[in-house]
Amino acid sequence: MGAVMLDNRQPVKTIAWLLVILLIPVVGLLLYYFFGQDIRHEVLLNKKSIDLLTQKVMGHYIRQDRYEVPQQLKSLLLLMKRISYSLPFGGNDAQFYTCGSDFLIQLLKDIDGAQHHVHLEFFIVENDAVGNLLSDALLDAVKRGVIVRMIYDDVGCWSVPRHFFKKLRNGGVAVHAFLPVHFRWLSHRVNYRNHRKIVVIDGKIGYIGGMNIAMRYLRGEHGRVWSDLQMRVCGGAVYGLQQLFLSDWYYVSEQLINDMKYYPAMTSPAGRGALMQITMSVPFGRWPNFQMAYNLIIQMAQKQILIQTPYFMPTETILESLQTAALRGVHVEIMVPLKPGGFWMTWANEAYYGDVLKAGVQIYAYRPGMLHAKMMVIDDLFCSVGSVNLDFRSLNDTFEDSAFIYDTDIAKDMKKLFNKAKKDCKLIDLDLWNGRNCRRRVLESFVKIFSPLF
């Protein structure tokens, strides 16, 4: 109990773990050992080396074009520039994929056209038909003389047999696991996972979003469809994706790559192109990057906030920001899956519905299956897409990324995607919600206590 109290963590997490230990003493202690300990000191990157990599690449090799940003968004841009080394780049062109098969087809085409390098980083890469299609494409690229590097999360890929990645290594692909857990059931290093899903091809094409490499992202699972969001970008924002990948590559391989050939000259698309920042967070960072950013974004909104997230378990500060926004007249809509997973996750999501419904927030529950997209649109001026869920784990304990897009046209395009998905949603009515039975209310309240641990 003393170790829990002395851990440098949020009070809500401390209370939740104390309750677990008190309610189920032996099992609770085991759970805390495996999942609860703060081991950030064990996964600290060599900060001087990362700073050197960031400053040298982003400060000397890359020339930023002049850019404009709406006045009300300048503080957000400056915040992320300071706390996550995120430089803004203009002249970007974006395409969005909500269907996994469309994303996979385009990704395979881009890999087939690669001439110099392919960099991939995913939380999950399954040994199924989709994973093997990607594997074959990467091995073919190596045969053409293309440099291929891959990072996968060790916990996210626990079920993947070793021979899958061994085949890639034998074929010339440089593959590394992120923060390996060698004794899976006897280790507390299962937290602080790399949840990012990014691809960089020749330093000119990039991908960022919520899609992993697995069959369920194409055809769903358990008879339910899978809706997600992945962005393909061409333009200066690829520099940000490249820098993020190479920082992670340094961590897993101790190989520092900062050659300017990985940051080729860009040609802007027809027209001005969009202004973007590739933002990121790390669990041992000085600041809770996305928690601070999302609070500021919500506070800046003047007319409308649209959010898609598979898991809605916001921190207290973000919850209050959403409530405040709705109460001051901002139209707030949050879209979540009707059934985000097992009954436990469903109860955890629903435990927070009442808090925002009472303030006037509208909640839409996606009925056809799993909604895995991570999207935010503000006032038709700003939008974001990335790996960040609106829950405690994403905001505090995992390595995440998001593209912050300061562009009216793209914000409106993303708004259209949101409204299209609304047609398959059930609007949660406050009166009906208040009428649910006592047993359900008790279960939700119970689960809510432990939601910071999910």
Q: Which of 38, 110, 153, 379 is catalytic?
A: 379
| Residue 416 to residues 205, 410, 420, 423, Cα–Cα distance (Å) | 24, 10, 6, 11
On the 0-12 / 13-18 / 19+ scale of CB atoms within 10 A, 420 is exposed
Encoded amino acid at 126, one letter:
E
Closest by CA position to 427, among listed 379, 384, 363: 363
> Which position has the token pair 């074929």?
171
Contact 443, 423 (CB under 8 A): no
Distance, in Å, from the CA atom of 91 to the CA atom of 446, rounded to the nearest integer, reads 49
74 catalytically annotated: no
195 catalytically annotated: yes
Distance, in Å, from the CA atom of 218 to the CA atom of 228, rounded to the nearest integer, reads 10
Q: Which of 13, 374, 401, 448 is catalytic?
A: 374
Q: Which of 13, 117, 195, 204 is catalytic?
A: 195
Distance, in Å, from the CA atom of 445 to the CA atom of 439, rounded to the nearest integer, reads 10
> Hey, what long-range contacts does 424-432 have (CB within 8 A, 24 or more apart)?
424/366, 424/367, 424/368, 425/335, 425/364, 425/365, 425/366, 425/367, 426/338, 426/364, 426/365, 426/367, 427/362, 427/363, 427/364, 427/365, 428/353, 428/357, 428/362, 428/363, 428/364, 428/365, 430/357, 430/358
374 catalytically annotated: yes
Closest by CA position to 111, among listed 92, 132, 139, 130: 139
Total residue count of the chain as it appears in this document: 454
Q: Which of 13, 117, 119, 197 is catalytic?
A: 197
Q: Which of 13, 176, 372, 448 is catalytic?
A: 372
379 catalytically annotated: yes
Q: Which of 202, 228, 391, 397 is catalytic?
A: 202
Q: Kindly list the catalytic residues.
A: 195, 197, 202, 372, 374, 379
